[in-house]
């Protein structure tokens, strides 16, 4: 009886934490933790995507906005971030405003799985393999032919990359999987 009660109590505590639910609020669909890409990896991702001036990049799960800021500053691109964490949304918007890049960068607070990113020339992601599996149908439905997708460290299962790049940062090798719509 005592052991049954202890197990039930533990489950009651851990299940809401794992599924990130708050009583009375919709569950947060967190597809990856906040782990920023190192700056040299960000630059390599955008180079690997062959991002050109005037193109639009979407970073799905945009964290502190570093992919968006690099795309605008270094590549002359427009950038849209989709981010579920209000804390990261606030921090990235503040940084974008400080840098006076708000005419070229937008951060949308919401779930990347339901976002409209059909205007993207390039999509960048740093999620997990299982999250990429959930996202894949939306990428296939929404992206135009010729759009490029670069995934940091995690493959999109079922797609064949047009290139796999490697870059070292923070004492480990990071893999970049580059895909092109219409070249699956």
Ligand X SMILES: C[S@@+](CC[C@H](N)C(=O)[O-])C[C@H]1O[C@@H](n2cnc3c(N)ncnc32)[C@H](O)[C@@H]1O
Write the interaction track for ligand X spanning residues 55-74; mark x where CB under 6 A is met and - where it is not: ----x-xxx--xx-------
DSSP state, 84?
A: S
Stretch binding ligand X (CB under 6 A), from 33-41, 72-80, 141-149, 154-162: 33-41
Burial of residue 85 (number of CB atoms within 10 Å: 0-12, 13-18, 19+)? middle
Stretch binding ligand X (CB under 6 A), from 4-12, 47-55, 80-88, 161-169: 80-88
What is the SS3 assignment for 94-116? Answer: HHHHHCCCCCCEEEEECCHHHCC
Helix (H) or strand (E) holding 17, with range, is: helix 2-19
Q: Is 87 or 183 the residue whose CB approaches ligand X more closely?
A: 87
Q: Name the residue number minimizing CB distance to ligand X.
A: 61
Distance (Å, rounded) from C-alpha 96 to C-alpha 163? Answer: 31
Contact positions with ligand X (CB under 6 A) in 118-157: 126, 152
Residues in contact with ligand X by CB under 6 A are 29-32, 34-37, 59, 61-63, 66-67, 82-85, 88, 111-113, 126, 152
């Amino acid at each position: 009886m005592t052991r049954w009660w202890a197990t039930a109590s533990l489950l009651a505590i851990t299940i809401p934490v794992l599924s990130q639910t708050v009583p009375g609020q919709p569950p947060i669909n967190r597809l990856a933790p906040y782990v920023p890409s190192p700056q040299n990896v960000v630059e390599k991702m955008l180079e690997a995507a062959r991002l050109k001036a005037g193109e639009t990049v979407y970073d799905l799960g945009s964290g502190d906005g570093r992919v968006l800021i690099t795309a605008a500053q270094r590549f002359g691109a427009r950038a849209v971030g989709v981010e579920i964490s209000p804390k990261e949304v606030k921090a990235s918007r503040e940084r974008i405003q400080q840098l006076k890049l708000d005419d070229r960068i937008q951060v949308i607070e919401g779930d990347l799985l339901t976002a409209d990113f059909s205007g993207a020339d390039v999509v960048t992601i740093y999620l997990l393999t299982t999250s990429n599996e959930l996202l894949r149908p939306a990428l296939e439905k929404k992206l135009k032919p010729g759009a490029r997708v670069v995934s940091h460290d995690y493959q999109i299962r079922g797609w064949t990359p047009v290139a796999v790049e490697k870059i070292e940062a923070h004492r480990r090798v990071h893999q970049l999987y580059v895909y092109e719509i219409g070249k699956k």
